[in-house]
Amino acid sequence: MSNDAATESQALDGPRQEPPALGLGASLPPADARAKTEGTFPYAADLWAEGLLWAALLRSPHPHARILSIDTAAAAEMPGVRAVVTHLDVLGDPSYGRLVADRPVFASDVVRHHGEAIAAVAADHPDTARMAAAAIAVEYEILDPVTDPEKAFEAEPLHPDGNLIRHIPLRYGDPDLMGEVVVEGLYRIGRQDPAPIGAEAGLAVPRPDGGVEIYTGSTDPHTDRDLAAACFGLEPDQVKVVVTGVPGATGDREDPGFQIPLGLLALRTGCPVKLAATREESFLGHAHRHPTLLRYRHHADSEGRLVKVEAQILLDAGAYADASSESLAAAVAFACGPYIVPHAFIEGWAVRTNNPPSGHVRGEGAMQVCAAYEGQMDKLAAKIGIDPAELRLRNALATGDILPTGQTVTCPAPVAELLRAVRDFPLPALPKDVPESSWLLPGGPEGAGEPGAVRRGVGYALGMVHMLGAEGADEVSTATVKVHDGVATVICAAVETGQGFSTLARQIVQETLGIEEVHVASVDTDQPPAGPATHGRHTWVSGGAVERAAKMVRTQLLQPLAHKFGMSTELLQITDGKITSYDGVLSTTVTEAMDGKELWATAQCRPHPTEPLDESGQGDAFVGLAFCAIRAVVDVDIELGSIRVVEMAVAQDVGRVLNPAQLATRIEAGVTQGIGTALTENLRTTRGLVRRPDLTGYALPTSLDAADIRIVKLVEERDVVAPFGAKPASAAPVVTSPAAVAAAVRAATGRPVNRLPIRPQSAVVTAG
C-alpha cells in the first residue's frame, strides 16, 4: 500500500527526479528492520542478567479507598521472596510527576485509581513474586469513586492539590456578538489506550557505588532518571537509565511509576531485578488519552462564514495531573480548528477523577476538539444548506491569520490546498464488477452484512496540531557526530520509538558528509539530554542538532584542504566518499583527507522560545503547527450499525519530505490509529473499575479494519524556522482521521454521530 501511495502522490505532483539512494529524500530503510522482522531484535522484555530476581506489583483492586493497614509479613516470609517494598521504603521524595509531583510512588493512605501501585515484591521466580504480591494483606475502607468529571468540581477533594488541575478561560474578541446562524452540539470522546504492542518491561541492576542502572524502553530517559533519583534519595548521576529496544510507543512508556519500584527493589536486594508487565497491568498502569466532554456553539453568517465560537471543554485527567495541563492548552488553543474565527470564547478544564490515569498520547487535546469542531462544521453546512467541503474552504486558515490565542500563524498553513486535494481526488469505485459474494461489507468477510442495507458516506475533516513542547517548555537537544575510518557515528539521546529518528539521523549525516555508513549509538543518560520522544520533537530539534554537528565535522574535514588550495570550504563537495572541488580540479577521498584522524563535533539545537498562555488564554505558545486534511469514505450497514472504512484520502502539510517511504508509513499508522479511535478503541470502566483490560475486550484495528489509505498530496512548503524545513508528520493524521470517519458516518446515516468511538446504535437508521 505504501508504495502505491507514494508513487501516486508523486504522479499527482507531476514528474519528479529519481529519488536519491542516500541522504535526505531517500527511502532509506531502518537499520533494525531486518532484526525486527526476523525476531532477533532485543526488546526490553528479553533482558537477562545472571542471578536476576523477578518483580511483581500489588495494585489496587478499588478505584477509591482509604488504606487502613498494609501487612507484608506473610509475603516476606514466603520462600523465594527476597524483598517487599511499600511507601515506607521510599527514602527520597514520596511522590513524583512531570509538572507537579502529585503521584505517590506507592499509595500510602489513599488509592485513587484501579490499578494504582501499593507495594512491590522481588522473588526468585515470577510466579512466586506474583503470589507474594497477592499475599500482602491490605485493609481498605472503600470510598465512593468520583467517575463523572462534571461532578469533580463539587466533590470532596480527591487529592491534597484539589480536583481542578487547570482552568483556561480563553477570551478573544467580542463576547456579545451573535451570528445569523447558530448551531450547538455536545460531543463525547472515549478513553483510548496507547496499547503498545510490547507491554512494559525493564531490568534494574545495582551498582557497587550505591547507584543503580535501569534498562528499559523509556521514551524520555533524562526526565525519568531525575524523577527516579529524587525518589531513591540519590543524586541524578548515581542513577543511569539505559534505553533498550522500544516495542512501539504512541505515548509515554515505562514511566517512573514502573522504574522506581524496579530500582528500589534492586537497591534493596543488591541483585538485578526484572519486571515484565502483563497485558492487564499495562492497561491499568499507563496513561490514556483524556476522555473529553465538549459543548460547542458556532455562530456564522448566512454565507457560512464563522463569526464566533463558544465552547466548554472538560478533560478527565484521572487521579493525577501528569501531562493534563499541556493537553488542555492544546485543546483550548485548537478548539476552533484551522479556521478563521474572529471571536472565540473557550473555557477548558482538566479535572481529577478516580478513572484510569490520562496523559500524553499523540495528538492529545487536538484530537478531541477536532472531532467536535468538525461535527459543528457539518451541522452548520447542513443548516445553511451548502456542501461541507465548501463551507470549510470558506473559513480555511492561511499563513498570516491569527489563532484565538492571539498567535499569528507564521509557518506555512496550506489548509485550503490540502482540502481541495482530497476533495478533488476521484472517489473509490463501487465493487459492481466483482461478484457480490466477494464484497467486503461492514461486519467482515464472514459477517452478516447485506448489500441492500449498506449506505456509503463521504466526510471531510481538517486537523491541526502543534509541534514540540508548548508554553515556554525549554526545547533543546544535543547531538555528537564522530567520523573515523570512513564510518560516521551519531550519539544523541533521542529515543528511537519506531518514529524513525535513527533513520533520519543517518540520512542527515549522509547528506552533509557524503559518508554512506552511519551508525546511531544506543541511548543512555550519560549522554546530554534530548527531551522526550513526543510532539515530533526529534525530527526537528534532535535532527537539527545532528545536522549542526555534522556540518561542524564537515568544516573540520575540509578546512585544511580548502586552506591548502586557497578556496573556501563551500566550494568543496563530498559525494560517495570523495571530495571534489567545484571546478573538478581537486579530487581526493574522505579517507585520505582524514589521514587516520578521528573527527568529533557536538552541537545543540534550541528553537525559538514560546510563552505560556495567560489568564485569558492568550500567548505565542507554540513553535510550529502542522495541518492535515482527510476525506473518509465509509460503508454503513444501517440496520446493524456496523461500519467499514473503505478509503481514507490524506493530504498533509509536511514542509519537506525527508524519507518518502518512512513518511508514508507514519501517515498510514496515524490514520489507522485514528480509525481505532473512531470505531472501536475505548477502555471502558464501570464506576472506575476497568472492565476488560485485555486485547480481546479492547479492540484494536486489524488489517481488515484498516482502510485503503491514499496519500493524495504532500504539500512541501518549507517551514523556514525548522531544520530542513520539515514538519513532523505522525500526529496530524491521528488528530484528523477520527473526525473524518465520524463525518462520513454522519453523511451515510443522517444521524448526529457525536460520540467517539461510534457505537453501532448511533449508526442505525430506523424506519420512521
Partner 1 sequence: MTTHAPQTAQSVTLPASLDEAVAALSAMPAAVPVAGGTDLMAAVNKGLLRPAGLVGLGRISELRGWHYQDGHALLGTGLTHARMGRPDFAALIPALAASARAAGPPQIRNAGTLGGNIASAAPTGDSLPVLAALEADLVVAGPGGARREIPVSHLLAGREMLAPAELIGFVRVPLLHAPQVYLKATGRTGPGRATASVAVVLDPARRGVRCAVGAIAPMPLRPLEAERWIASLIDWDADRGLAPEALAAFGEYVAAACIPDPEPAADGSEPPALPPAVLHLRRTVATLARRALGRALP
Question: Which range in 119-127, 143-151, 268-276, 302-310 contacts partner 1 by CB under 8 A?
Answer: 119-127
DSSP conformational letter for 358: B
Query: Does residue number 121 form part of the binding site for partner 1 (CB under 8 A)?
Result: no
- Per CB under 8 A, contacts with partner 1 among 662-681 are 679-680
x/- track of binding to partner 1 for residues 212-231 (CB under 8 A): --------------------
Query: Does residue number 641 form part of the binding site for partner 1 (CB under 8 A)?
Result: yes
Measured CA distances, 293 to 284, 370, 649 (Å): 22, 13, 28
Q: Is the peptide bond before 760 cis (omega within 30 degrees of 0)?
A: no
Query: Does residue number 151 form part of the binding site for partner 1 (CB under 8 A)?
Result: no
Question: Which range in 21-29, 237-245, 516-524, 636-644 contacts partner 1 by CB under 8 A?
Answer: 636-644
Query: Does residue number 451 form part of the binding site for partner 1 (CB under 8 A)?
Result: no
Query: Does residue number 274 form part of the binding site for partner 1 (CB under 8 A)?
Result: no
- Per CB under 8 A, contacts with partner 1 among 698-737 are 699, 701-705
d(CA 8, CA 650) in angstroms, rounded, equals 12
Question: Which range in 311-319, 443-451, 485-493, 719-727 contacts partner 1 by CB under 8 A?
Answer: 443-451
Measured CA distances, 669 to 192, 279, 484, 700 (Å): 15, 22, 37, 12
Shortest spacing between CB 169 and partner 1, in angstroms: 35
User: Percent helix, strand, coil in the chain (nearest 5)?
Assistant: 30, 25, 45
Residue type, 702: T
Choose, by CB under 8 A, the member of 145, 357, 443, 660 that binds partner 1.
443
31 vs 78 by CB, closer to partner 1: 78
Question: Which range in 39-47, 316-324, 332-340, 759-767 contacts partner 1 by CB under 8 A?
Answer: 759-767
Question: Which range in 39-47, 91-99, 385-393, 757-765 contacts partner 1 by CB under 8 A?
Answer: 757-765
Choose, by CB under 8 A, the member of 125, 167, 484, 606 that binds partner 1.
125
> What cell numbers appear for 73 in the block?
509479613
230 vs 689 by CB, closer to partner 1: 689
Query: Does residue number 644 form part of the binding site for partner 1 (CB under 8 A)?
Result: yes
Question: Which range in 117-125, 380-388, 512-520, 580-588 contacts partner 1 by CB under 8 A?
Answer: 117-125
Contacts with partner 1 by CB under 8 A: the residue count is 39
Shortest spacing between CB 766 and partner 1, in angstroms: 8
CA atoms within 13 A on the CB side of 524: 10
Query: Does residue number 436 form part of the binding site for partner 1 (CB under 8 A)?
Result: no
The three-class DSSP label of residue 638 is coil
Other beta carbons less than 10 A from residue 92's beta carbon:
16
Query: Does residue number 38 form part of the binding site for partner 1 (CB under 8 A)?
Result: no
Q: What is the largest CA-CA distance in the chain?
A: 88
Measured CA distances, 709 to 8, 321, 631, 666, 742 (Å): 11, 36, 10, 12, 17
Reference 274, options 258, 285, 288, 287; nearest CA is: 258
Main-chain phi, psi angles of 169, to 5 degrees: -100, 95
Other beta carbons less than 10 A from residue 49's beta carbon:
14
78 vs 586 by CB, closer to partner 1: 78
Exposure of 685 by Cβ count < 10 A (0-12 exposed, 13-18 middle, 19+ buried)? buried
Query: Does residue number 77 form part of the binding site for partner 1 (CB under 8 A)?
Result: no
Strands 343-351 and 164-172: antiparallel
Question: Which range in 94-102, 598-606, 641-649, 683-691 contacts partner 1 by CB under 8 A?
Answer: 641-649
Query: Does residue number 611 form part of the binding site for partner 1 (CB under 8 A)?
Result: no
CA atoms within 13 A on the CB side of 389: 18
Q: Which residues bind partner 1 (CB under 8 A)?
A: 78-80, 123-125, 127-128, 130, 278, 280, 440, 442-448, 450, 639-642, 644, 679-680, 696, 699, 701-705, 759-761, 764, 766
